[in-house]
Structure 1
Amino acid sequence: MNDRGGNSLILVLNCGSSSIKFALFDADATPLARTPAWGGKVEGITGDAPVFSESGAAAEMLALGCEHPYHAALTYLRQRIVARLQGRRIVAIAHRVVHGGSKYFEPVRVDAAVLADLKSLIPLAPLHQPFALEAIGALLDELPRLPQVACFDTAFHQSMPTVEKMLPLPRSAWDQGLRRYGFHGLSYAYQAQVLGERYGDAARGRTIVAHLGSGASLCAMRNLQSVATTMGFSALDGLMMGTRCGALDPGAVIYLMEIRKLSLERVGRMLYHESGLLGVSGVSADPRELLPREGELPVQQALALYVRSIVREVGALTATLDGLDMLVFTAGIGEHQAVIRERVCAGLGFLGVAIDPTANAAHAPVISSASSRVKVVVEAANEEWVAATAAATLTRH
């Protein structure tokens, strides 16, 4: 680890279907430093070549075994973290939990009853929810006295007006919990914090944040609070993503099941894992691999559809805001893919968006030109710090 700081640490775990990311923050600092003391990830857990990487070191190939690879990855991470503590102790663990349903609007300390509640929400987020809960359950069994805090990706969007949460389904659907929840809330919560600090009142007007990673969504904010977002009941909705379809005519799903006779499991796998950039291009879910191959028509079409999806949804959210003052790019693609930013902004020229090509190529904090009517900025994501701060707040005495 870097500078030792205090003796207490908060561990943040972000558990996905095939990866576990972690970060350790100095719990004695007030406020918490925004850069973790140490962090890393295990990727490709369910594949043939899982890899461990950490800050400041080369990646390592792992042999996790095929029977319980996820448990093996958690055990491996625990061993690596314990070996690096150097006499310091972990005082709390914060978990990114995708879905809080209609009950959990704030971070919560997890016990057996809360864990049971969260397990009931697995059908609402089958791609992410089970893995975070598996880690929480294992740690509850092994270390029952260690505080664990669940931080929900849906919580930030509770400020949306009711009309934005409603789905055009029979009233009984609302009563059963079918509504627009919105996701990527930890990412947006960080943006709400940092944008206010950096840009003051300019960020408190009509702002759209584009979280563009393997998963992707947009959030429209007023006064740095969510008023609309592109993801809805599930993390499938809205923008075209790396492997997820985004907004889709539900009639297409009915057709696949009724006429093509695809099973529910097969359709679910198609929509979550085989669509988006990967599905349309037939090559990859990653723009870094697609951009050099744009001479191939399917790749060209995939990128064009991806950009068009973002432009369309920015336009729709601009209508809900009655205009646009600031556009923010964040997450892996948003922060690092200048070509994608340039194409999106070119499609938004009708709103007065104009960027400085040199600033954009350099990934500068502000990439809009002096003539742009909309301020366009690039801001790093920091979901881990948001989760660590929540854990510190709930567990300090």
Structure 2
Amino acid sequence: MKHSPELILVLNCGSSSIKFALFDAGVEPLPRQAEWSGKVTGIGGPHPAYRDSAGAGEDLALDRQQPYHAALERIREHVVRRLEGRGLRAVAHRVVHGGSKYSAPTRVDAAVLADLKSFIPLAPLHQPFALEAIEVLLTELPELPQVACFDTAFHHTVPQVEQMLALPYAAWQRGLRRYGFHGLSYEYMATVLEERFGAAARGRVIVAHLGSGASLCALQDLRSVATTMGFSALDGLMMGTRCGALDPGAVLYMMEIEKLTLQQVGHVLYHESGLLGVSGVSADPPVLLAQEDRDDATGERVRAALALYVRRIVREIGALTAVLGGLDLLVFTAGVGEHSAELRRRICAGLGFLGPVLDEAANARHGPLISAPESRIQVGVEATNEEWVAARLAAAAVPPA
């Protein structure tokens, strides 16, 4: 093992939280486990908090005018203490959308930042916050290399027929196309699945990234060939607060008949739909599972939300199986996919035509292999590791001094 004191900081910025992780890029190969990590949650809300893997934790009182800046400053204070005199080689950022222009990890300067800001309408829940962190560091530490790692990049291998929208051809020429997202997560799966599942991983594979955002990716020979998210992160599966695939006529109806403004419709589709919108209770599946036995109108809505959530996943797995010409391996990942044995069971029960048979004890243990020997397809659970992928990409983009 070769070692040098070079560290890469990874920032994964969402609308109300910032995850961070520190990797030692002087070790070859780059360790998959961060030497230190943590997150700030509740940014912009009444109870923001800091927690890290060294056991540090505190409730925060953030500047109400600029809570995101204040959270970044608090993280920087902790990072500086953690460095203990060692230097940062680069900061890697998970950036959701790279548009049609960016398909590889990219060093960010003022011109690149301006480009990336133009993609904010395509990913309004994520893009602005990653760019805010980049802009703060560009202003305050302009010599520190920053690398944007794009969630869209992994899907550049999908064929044109999967990228195109059935709009006038000029729309394709302007960049309106299906991009796909959760690429850092799927790139990690493409790295680790062969280690875990052997030859099956190079066959016909569907990975289900089920978290507050959710999508599926069909892989063949560990390359993306189709995915459920498209032009924006609204498409595809039903999610925590996002609607997923929707008849565009419903949007026209809300605007023309119900007289919602463009901004109001956007808020409905991104923040008031999905599990939260249908259930009226929560965007969090474990919370809903705990309330589905209620014998009242709330229980009825909760059951409807969970049934729709599972049905949409089953339906899209069926569609991707058709694209692949069959299925050898189904893998669940991300918060819900990794931790909800009950939802995995329901999804697999809906896929009876594929012949999955679960090992109930293994499913309760959350994997890694949860299918029984007699199952016609293998079913697994694998924790994702987007931060390690971002650190690895940044290490390649910024060679050691």
TM-score range, shorter chain: over 0.9
The answer for the alignment partner of 1:328 in structure 2 is 331
Gap regions ≥5 residues in structure 1? none
1:1-397 to 2 correspondence within 5 Å? 6-57=4-55, 59-295=57-293, 296-397=299-400
Q: What displacement does 1:60 show?
A: 2.3
Cα distance in 1, alignment partners of residues 53 and 277 from structure 2:
32
Same amino acid, percent of matched pairs: 69
Cα distance in 1, alignment partners of residues 399 and 28 from structure 2:
11
**1:7·1:87 contact (CA, 8 Å) conserved in 2?**
no
4+ runs deviating over 6 angstroms: none
Q: What displacement does 1:59 show?
A: 4.2
Cα distance in 1, alignment partners of residues 91 and 372 from structure 2:
43
Query: Aligned residues, how many?
Result: 393
What letter matches 1:356 in structure 2? D
CA offsets per residue over residues 236-293 of structure 1, 9 Å max, x none?
0000000100011111111111100011111111110111111111111111111110
Q: TM-score, normalised by structure 1?
A: 0.97
Secondary structure at 2:209 match in 1: strand
Secondary structure at 1:293 match in 2: coil
Q: What displacement does 1:27 show?
A: 1.4
Cα distance in 2, alignment partners of residues 376 and 316 from structure 1:
18
Secondary structure at 1:290 match in 2: helix
Task: Report the CA distance shift for 1:101/1:76 in structure 2 as closer, same or farther (over 3 A).
Answer: same
What letter matches 2:111 in structure 1? A
CA offsets per residue over residues 173-224 of structure 1, 9 Å max, x none?
1111110000000000000000122223211010000000000000000001
Secondary structure at 2:283 match in 1: coil
What letter matches 1:313 in structure 2? E
Cα distance in 2, alignment partners of residues 138 and 233 from structure 1:
28
Secondary structure at 2:61 match in 1: coil
**2:36·2:54 contact (CA, 8 Å) conserved in 1?**
no
Task: Report the CA distance shift for 1:58/1:90 in structure 2 as closer, same or farther (over 3 A).
Answer: closer
**1:27·1:392 contact (CA, 8 Å) conserved in 2?**
yes
Q: TM-score, normalised by structure 2?
A: 0.96
**2:238·2:274 contact (CA, 8 Å) conserved in 1?**
yes
Secondary structure at 1:279 match in 2: helix
Q: What displacement does 1:124 show?
A: 1.4
Secondary structure at 2:39 match in 1: strand
Cα distance in 2, alignment partners of residues 70 and 128 from structure 1:
13
Cα distance in 2, alignment partners of residues 362 and 391 from structure 1:
34
CA offsets per residue over residues 130-176 of structure 1, 9 Å max, x none?
11111111101111111110000000000000000000111111111
